[in-house]
Amino acid sequence: MTMRAIIVDDEELARRGIRALLARATDVEVIAECGNAREAIEAIRADPPDLVFLDVQMPGKSGFDVLTEISLAQCPHIVFVTAHDDFAIRAFEVHALDYLLKPLNERRFELTLERARKAMANAHEGSVGRRLAQLAANLGDTAAPLGADRIPVKAGGKVVVIRIADVDWVKAEHDYVSLFIGNKSWLVRETIASIERRFANAGFVRIHRSTLVNVDRVRELRPLHKGEFQVVLQDGVELKLSRNFRAALTRLAGAPV
């Protein structure tokens, strides 16, 4: 199966580098090269490709803007390419196939191509309508940009994808939150209020101004004084439920307490 690809980058040298790497693959045909987002949109509309190597930062419209202007039938697999890792999380939020940092690493590039081959071979994953529906929904909803069941976290120069259901509890750390999974924790640049909204449908409730808890992890509720409770998780972690959040007791216990 031949993959038809478009290269989009405002730097000719960068386009040349991607083209050279693709030339080593016998199953990839470069059908167009574009120097800006507008050219990319026109090229995708004129002849929808299977794969687009898309620069994030370009004059005028960004790579993300390209995704908002192509139709369901024209949606390709997207590989974002940029010199900065600041956009990595957003790239995963819009279900990009992959995210490459400049300068490109040959081995890493080959892994991206292998991922593209597998995605195309899988009819379910390759449904363009379903894929762009996810893209459009996430790009158009700034209030809840994260995926329904996963959250990408930048850690140690890479992006770790965490299943929200695996998180035990969440603690506010000023403009950040810590996500606790067993004896590990992950730091995310979000407020506790934002994470509360995002995690609400996954069974998380607020028990303190700085604490959210996964109701499936709760083992015991121990009354304290003045209407407060100690919430004990399955792994023995003890958290405090403030009297200001007594309404959460019913959710935690499964019935009025």
Q: Do 132 and 207 belong together in one domain?
A: no
CATH number, domain of 83, equals 3.40.50.2300
- In this predicted structure, what is the pLDDT of residue 75? 74
- φ, ψ at 82 (rounded to 5°): -155, 160
Which CATH number is 239's domain given?
A: 2.40.50.1020
Q: How many other C-beta atoms can be found within 10 angstroms of the C-beta atom of residue 212?
A: 23
**pLDDT digit string (tens) for the chain, length 257 residues:** 899 999 999 999 999 999 999 999 999 999 999 999 999 999 999 999 999 999 998 988 888 888 888 865 667 899 999 887 666 666 665 668 888 888 899 999 999 999 899 888 874 444 444 444 455 444 444 434 434 678 888 877 788 888 899 999 999 987 789 999 999 999 988 888 888 888 888 899 999 999 999 999 999 999 998 889 999 999 999 999 998 888 888 888 876 66
Which tokens is 20 given?
């050279």
> How far does CA 180 lie from the centroid of its chain?
18
Q: Please check whether residue 37 is in contact with residue 70, taking contact to mean a CB–CB distance below 8 angstroms.
A: no
Predicted local distance difference test score (pLDDT) of residue 86: 65
Residues 241 and 130 in one domain: no
pLDDT of residue 118: 87
Q: DSSP per residue over 17-69, as a string? A: HHHHHHHT-TTEEEEEEESSHHHHHHHHHHS--SEEEEES--SSS-HHHHHHT
Q: Is residue 145 part of a domain?
A: no
Hey, is 169 helix, strand or coil? strand
Q: Looking at the structure, tell me whether residues 89 and 169 fall in a common domain.
A: no
Order of strands, sheet of 51-55, starting from the edge strand that comes earlier in the sequence: 28-34, 3-8, 51-55, 77-82, 98-101
Whether residues 13 and 113 fall in one domain: yes
Distance of CA 31 to the CA centre of its chain: 29
Domain final residue, candidates 140, 165, 183:
140
Are 89 and 114 in a shared domain? yes
- Same domain? 109 vs 7: yes
Give residue 6's pLDDT.
Answer: 97
Q: 133, 190, 130, 135: which is closest to 162 by C-alpha? A: 190
- Do 15 and 110 reside in the same domain of the chain? yes
Sign of the alpha-carbon torsion through 91, 92, 95, 97? positive
Judgement on whether residues 89 and 19 belong to the same structural domain of the protein: yes
Q: Which residues contact residue 93 at a Cβ distance below 8 angstroms, ignoring those fewer than 6 apart?
A: 138, 145, 146, 147, 152
For the CA atoms of 12, 77, 84, 110, what is the dihedral angle to 10 degrees? -80
> pTM, whole model, 2 decimals?
0.53
Q: Name, in order, each residue with C-beta under 8 angstroms of 47's C-beta and a sequence gap of 6 or more.
A: 4, 31, 32
In a 3-state reduction of DSSP, which class is residue 204?
Answer: strand
Q: Report if residue 217 sits inside a domain.
A: yes
- Are the beta carbons of 40 and 6 closer than 8 angstroms? yes
pLDDT, position 98: 87
Long-range contacts, 41-49 (Cβ 8 Å, 24+):
41/66, 41/69, 41/70, 43/6, 44/6, 44/70, 44/74, 44/76, 45/70, 45/71, 45/74, 47/4, 48/73, 48/74, 48/75, 48/76, 49/4, 49/5, 49/6, 49/76
Nearest-angstrom CA–CA distance, 63 and 41 = 10
Domain end position, chosen among 102, 120, 140: 140
Q: Are residues 27 and 125 in the same domain?
A: yes
List the structure tokens of 109. 């590039």
